[in-house]
Amino acid sequence: MSAKTPSRLEKILDSGQLAVTSECGPPRGSDPETITKKAEMIKDHVDAINITDNQTSVTRLSSLASCIHLKLMGLEPTLQMVVRDRNRIALQSDILGAASFDIHNILCLSGDHQVFGDSSQGQNVFDLDSMQLIQTVRLMRDEGKFLGGDDIKRPPQMFVGAAANPFADPFEIRVPRLAKKIAAGVEFIQTQCIYNLDKFELWMKQARDRGLHEKVYILAGVTPLRSAGMAKYMKNRVPGMDVPDEVVKRMAGVPKENQPEEGINICVETIQRLKECEGVRGFHIMAIEWEEKVPEIVERSGLYPRLKD
């Protein structure tokens, strides 16, 4: 696979190195400093920074605007785009908006249902699904065309990503679903955060059996646990999340003030183990509201320094 876009993330993955990405959640207000400060904290330790898109359906400063702020800082943003809130006109329009600022990474997502957030009485859109959004970005980039068929002046040059969740049900189609996204045109994958390493490695094995690891760059998602309470919450209350009992026990087995450190230990150990997993081409560290720990995680995992160009 050779780089098709000016994306820095693509270049690093292409070179065979392990990539490191992380994410920032925008504020519930219009102060860009929240984003720029978080980005400052992690910028030397990651290759690209995802900006979430109204995550959990809670209205926030838009992902696109936040990505522009990062771009203006000279950083490499990844635009997360959900299909819950925008029809095909708005999706294509925002893609062009991002491209006009030379934002080169996009993550195509379904989006959590609005019932979870602050607007449960609102409409949702789902004009396209995430699979079709992947196809759309590829169409816009590779053929320079809108969905309607007209030509695009200065087509977007975006490196196309999507999410994968090896822990959602039904397990038996999770690898076929990965294959489907690859067929739709996805180029990199960020997985849901991993606590159940056995299950993840099983999913990777099935993906390798089909040769999928050579058709897409898979970045393993990790999230450091801050407390036993957080582990329990994620285990029981977050759909599509798999937190094994041993992990909860391990967190609970440590005094409260030491739990954050233990969570980081688990995170680092996960990364170390998965470095050995064939097909894992990098790591996506999701430490929402705990971004200050990302540098430590990256360093202790032996992934520092990052390549500077």
Partner 1 sequence: MIVADKKPIEEIIDMVKGYQKILIAGCNECVTVCEAGGKKEVGVLASALRMYFMNEGEKIEVDEITLERQCDHEYLEEIRNSIDQYDAVVSLACGVGVQFMAEKYFGTPVYPGVNTCFMGVTEERGVWSERCQGCGQCILGKTAGICPISRCAKRLLNGPCGGSTQGKCEISKDLDCAWQLIIDRLKELDRLDEYEEIAPIKDWSTERAGGPRKVVREDVRQ
Stretch that binds partner 1, among 28-36, 167-175, 199-207, 266-274 (CB under 8 A): 167-175
Helix (H, G, I), strand (E, B) or coil at 308: coil
How far does the chain reach from its first CA to its final CA, in angstroms? 20
Is 102 one of the binding residues for partner 1 (CB under 8 A)? no
The reply to whether 117 sits near partner 1 by the rule CB under 8 A is no
Nearest distance, CB of residue 142 and partner 1, angstroms: 16
Read off the tokens for 119: 């607007």
- Residue found under tokens 């996009």: 106
CA 65 vs. chain centroid, Å, equals 18
Give the pair of three-digit tokens for residue 296: 């430590």
Among 41, 62, 90, 113, binds partner 1 (CB under 8 A): 113
Q: Pick from 36, 93, 119, 132: which binds partner 1 (CB under 8 A)? A: 132
Residue 128 or 248 with smaller CB distance to partner 1: 128
Q: Which residues of 123-146 are buried (b: 16+ CB within 10 A; e: fewer)?
A: eeebebebbebbbbbbbbbeeeeb
Residue 307 found at the interface with partner 1 (CB under 8 A)? no
Number of shown-chain residues binding partner 1 (CB under 8 A): 35
| Cβ partners under 8 Å of residue 97, min gap 6 | 64
Out of 84, 86, 226, 250, which residue is the one contacting partner 1 (CB under 8 A)?
84
Of 52, 112, 118, 116, nearest to 85 by C-alpha is 112
Q: Which stretch binds partner 1 (CB under 8 A): 62-70, 175-183, 220-228, 279-287?
A: 175-183
The stretch among 178-186, 244-252, 279-287, 294-302 that binds partner 1 (CB under 8 A) is 178-186
Contact region with partner 1 (CB under 8 A), list: 65-73, 130-138, 197-205, 296-304: 130-138
Binding window for partner 1 (CB under 8 A); candidates: 39-47, 106-114, 148-156, 217-225: 106-114
**Nearest 5°: phi and psi at 40?**
-55, -40
- Report the distance separating Cα 157 and Cα 95, nearest Å: 10
Centre a 10 Å sphere on the Cβ of residue 85 and count the other Cβ atoms it contains.
Answer: 21
Which residue, 49 or 163, is less far from partner 1 as judged by CB?
163
Q: Does 126 interact with partner 1 (rule: CB under 8 A)? A: yes
If binding is defined by CB under 8 A, does position 210 make contact with partner 1? no
Site for partner 1 (CB under 8 A): which residue of 3, 73, 90, 147? 147
